Amino acid sequence: MFITSQLCLLWLHELASKGSSEEVCDNAGLDSKWRVVLGVGSLSERLKSLRVQLSYLVAGLITAAIVASVTPSISTQKLHNYTPQVSSGTPYPLDFCASIFSSGQPPILGGYYWDLPGGKRMYVNAPGGGCPTRWAVRLAYGINTASPAEFAYTDSEVHVHASAMGAPVTIYSWRPGYSSRLRDLMRAYNFEVINTTQCVPVIRSNPISCHASGSLRVGANNLTAISDDGLCTISAQLLANPYTTNTMVKGLCTTGNVGQSKIILGATAMYAAWLAFSMGDQDNFDAISTAVENGNYSSRYVVTCDVDATNVYTFRNVTFSTRTNLNGNTALRLSAEGDSDCERPMHYSTDTSGLLAEVAISSWQLMSENSAMDGWFDTVANFAWNNGPHSIRTSFAFSNSRNGLEDVLGVTAAMVGAYMNSSTIAIPATVVVANMRVGSGYRYAVVFVLPPVLAAIAIGALTWRLLRRNDRHFSPNSIKCPRHIRSTTHTVIGQDLGEAKY
């Protein structure tokens, strides 16, 4: 408003000092110019005085330009000083979870092992408190069977895409007993971290392959399942009678090299039907179901699953995003989509036998459910097929999964591997954080300086022209027009210039 009023005064001085009284009286358009300067001119008069109108327009835009140029906006900053800690995949240094035992040492109670050269053994303490295998059931309830193409599973409220399955938990969450560097990073930047990207191992394909084969021995209150190659035998004493009700036996055995094992499941009656259903075997499900409905409990079904984690890991640039749009909602997301393959970090061990051992035994807890009761695979049943109404699964997290059973077991294996926490190392990562800045930060924002600059030029030009004139002693009251026009022209010109700005 102040600049506009100063322009108005300068335009009034410009008109008042423009010429002699004869020029004033002879200029038929001078009255219209006065009205335009004072803001009371008609539209046609304003169009004839574009210089005045443009100067007022520029002055009016000054406030808007200043506000736009200093309004805070959100920007991002990329940092390279963040080094998350992840497990190197090596065996645990102590006799814990997955460790190497020397010859002659007693085995871990309830553990699984592989023989190594030199008389040593790799043991996995599956029941060990705090070991990754103890997380299996809890983690399995995050599996997404409805839309695995969007995300394979959730963990700690993070939606993990299939491209990032098995990525270390420490890059997207913090838990007791695990690295807290992500938490420290979030606190340092007031939880304004947009994403972090780091090169970590992920599972690229399902390490578990299941097929309907093997044999089942039925006894009074006991079942024995034998794999198709005879290398794995699992027996169970049950409270239920396999001859008269639904029963199941299940378990796993180590085979071959570290990271390889077999899972065997055998069932009777209606449990056999549901085991077939988990394999996508609709024909056997229907046949066994019909037999049970007719009072025939002699139906059997056996599944053997081969586990091989030795060649399923690869390194990818995995991004943990805190502000991903998922179905219209802001969500935490972990993904490695696109061309994300990367080289193994410098300090990452080439010996990942500890990780491979944990993944091979990852189904231990799932296979232990209801083992002394009727053997029902409770957790697996929630995800091996679609519930409500029941239907065979046709979409999977792994591209090489062929049925719901092996997909559930494979995704669980990936999640268990993510919780490996031995021999942690620091790896490089990039972080993008949000911050506030003055202005938009875009190059086009330079136009915001034009209104004040143009207004300054206009004021400077009018002032310079006024000072150059030789009529410094000119007084608008001295202009004398003929009597017949004095009442109009003199009235406009004779106003006090100090009041004109109002």
**Using one digit for the tens of pLDDT, what is the confidence trace for 315-341?**
999 999 998 888 778 899 999 988 789
Mapping DSSP onto H, E and C, the string for 299-337 reads CEEEEEEEEECCCCEEEEEEEEEEEEEECCEEEEEEECC
Which comes out higher in pLDDT, residue 377 or 23? 377
DSSP string, 155-224: ETTEEE-GGGTT--GGGT---TTS--HHHHHHHHTTT-EEEEEEEEEEE-S-SEEEES--EEEEETTEEE
Instruction: Please report, for the chain, the start and end positions of each structural domain, with discontinuous segments joined by +.
Output: 2-69+440-500, 76-207+311-358+393-435, 209-308
| pLDDT for position 419 | 96
The whole-angstrom separation of Cα 485 and Cα 502 is 25
Lowest mean pLDDT among 109-118, 280-289, 432-441: 432-441
Does 89 score more than 70 pLDDT?
Answer: yes
Residues 145-169: tens digit of each pLDDT: 999 999 999 999 999 999 999 999 9
In this structure, what token pair is assigned to residue 34? 């006065």
232-246 residue pLDDT tens:
999 999 998 999 999
The confidence score (pLDDT) of residue 237 equals: 93
pTM metric for this prediction: 0.77
Cβ neighbour number for residue 183 with a 10 Å cutoff: 14
The reported pLDDT for the residue numbered 88 is 92
pLDDT tens-digit map of 384-426: 999 878 999 999 999 999 999 999 999 999 999 999 988 899 9
User: What pLDDT shows up at residue 36?
Assistant: 63
Instruction: Quote the pLDDT of residue 311.
Output: 96
Digit-coded pLDDT (tens) for 203-242: 999 999 999 999 999 998 999 999 999 999 999 999 989 9
